[in-house]
Amino acid sequence: MQRRTLFAGMLGAGFLAGCANPYVRSVEENEERKAAMSPKLGTFTAEDAEANDIELPANYSAENYKQMKLAVSFRTLDVKSVDKFAIERSQTLSAMFESEMTKLGRFKILSRSDLGQLALADEKRFQDTSNIDSTTRMRLKQFGADYVLTAGITLKTENYNRVKHAELMVEVLVTYQLINVSTGEIEDADSAKGLALRQYFMTPSGRYIGGFNINDPRQGDSVVNEAAVRALISLANKLGNKFPVGGRVIGGFGDMLQVDGGRNAGIVDSQVGVLYSNVYGVDVGLAYVNLVPGKTSTQGKIIKWTNNSDAKRLVQQYKKDPAAFAREFETYVVTKSMPMPKDWQKYM
């Protein structure tokens, strides 16, 4: 096998540019590659709830039980060859990342990409020069962000010469920081990688004869986008799980309960939550709950009650009169993890 490496800035000259050199991947590199092709996500399903004891998620806080406003900004990190193509690719990926992040529902995404800002400027210019009622004109009073997600994108391709075919691997590496706007503190910093593979066939003389069309820009875009979405899936899952969302219990009947936040608070479909109460200063997990969010509130149904002997008395008290229990003790539901949007599953 031979590997040829090419960085983002040179993609405009073709996917196959670069020098070949002998290379054999290590076991660790193969495992890393598999993980980037199929990201391992921190998820928690109803089946997981049935099989596990009641446990609150890490980093939970009632202060975060809201839909956070997140400004995102991505830039190329290809410092060796930042040409026009690389810059345009970075802007396109940044806009795509903004679009994909909105599918999570956990964050209210504020566009900071070049494309997003151009769209806002175009709209304001149109409104200022057209016959639009002055009372409805946009004043460009945009939301301020709670957090800023800033990230660098490294785009790289590698070509492998197999025995019967050739293989193109596209890697998108996103190195990010999450900054608290109020304090300027970097609350999280990590990286996420996504890979996409394509096979193509060439004659010994180097003439393309089939498979992935290395000369078709549209196919080139599709493989880059696939790798980028895989990186984004990993990144978004990490961020979503860093800020578990939830709400206060405002009512209950039998195994049903109602939470005072819905999609407006960042709760999304297919989430499992933990029902817990603050009892004499201690947060006590009572049950796992399946959540069905509405626009402004969420309905929950108990999946499994805790088997903790110290909490059983509280469970019995809750079952007897959920509403009275919630009035006596501060009672909340907090999500266990972020689910994966259905249209991301094809990338797994």
Locate the domains of the chain by residue range: 2-43+67-129+136-243, 246-335
- DSSP-derived letter for residue 264 is G
More confident residue, 99 or 146: 146
- DSSP-derived letter for residue 118 is H
Strand 68-76, strand 147-161: pairing: parallel
Cβ contact 157:11 at 8 Å: yes
More confident residue, 230 or 292: 292
Confidence of residue 13 (pLDDT cuts 50, 70, 90): very low
Q: What is the pLDDT of residue 85?
A: 44
Tokens of 167: 């293989």
Q: What is the pLDDT of residue 57?
A: 94
Greatest alpha-carbon pair distance for the chain in Å reads 80
Q: Is the pLDDT of residue 34 over 70?
A: no
Task: Give CATH for domain 2-43+67-129+136-243.
Answer: 3.40.50
Q: Is the pLDDT of residue 92 over 60?
A: yes
CATH class belonging to 246-335: mainly beta
Q: What is the pLDDT of residue 15?
A: 47
Q: Is the pLDDT of residue 87 over 80?
A: no
Secondary structure E strands in 203-297: 208-211, 246-253, 256-259, 271-279, 282-293
Q: What is the pLDDT of residue 295?
A: 94
- Distance between terminal CA atoms of the chain? 26
Share of the chain above pLDDT 90, in %: 36
More confident residue, 35 or 227: 227
Q: Is the pLDDT of residue 222 over 90?
A: no
The dihedral through the CA atoms of 275, 280, 282, 284 has a sign that is negative
Over residues 278-292, the pLDDT tens digits come to: 999 999 999 999 999
Phi, psi of 134, deg, nearest 5: -60, -25
Tokens of 9: 């800035």
Helix-then-strand count for the chain, H and E: 7, 14
Distance CA 44, CA 227 (A): 25
Confidence of residue 318 (pLDDT cuts 50, 70, 90): very high
Q: How big, in percent rounded to 5, are the helix, strand and coil portions of the chain?
A: 35, 35, 30
User: Distance of CA 71 to CAs 28, 74, 89, 111, 158, Å?
Assistant: 35, 10, 20, 6, 32
Tell if the pTM clears 0.85, that is, is over it: no
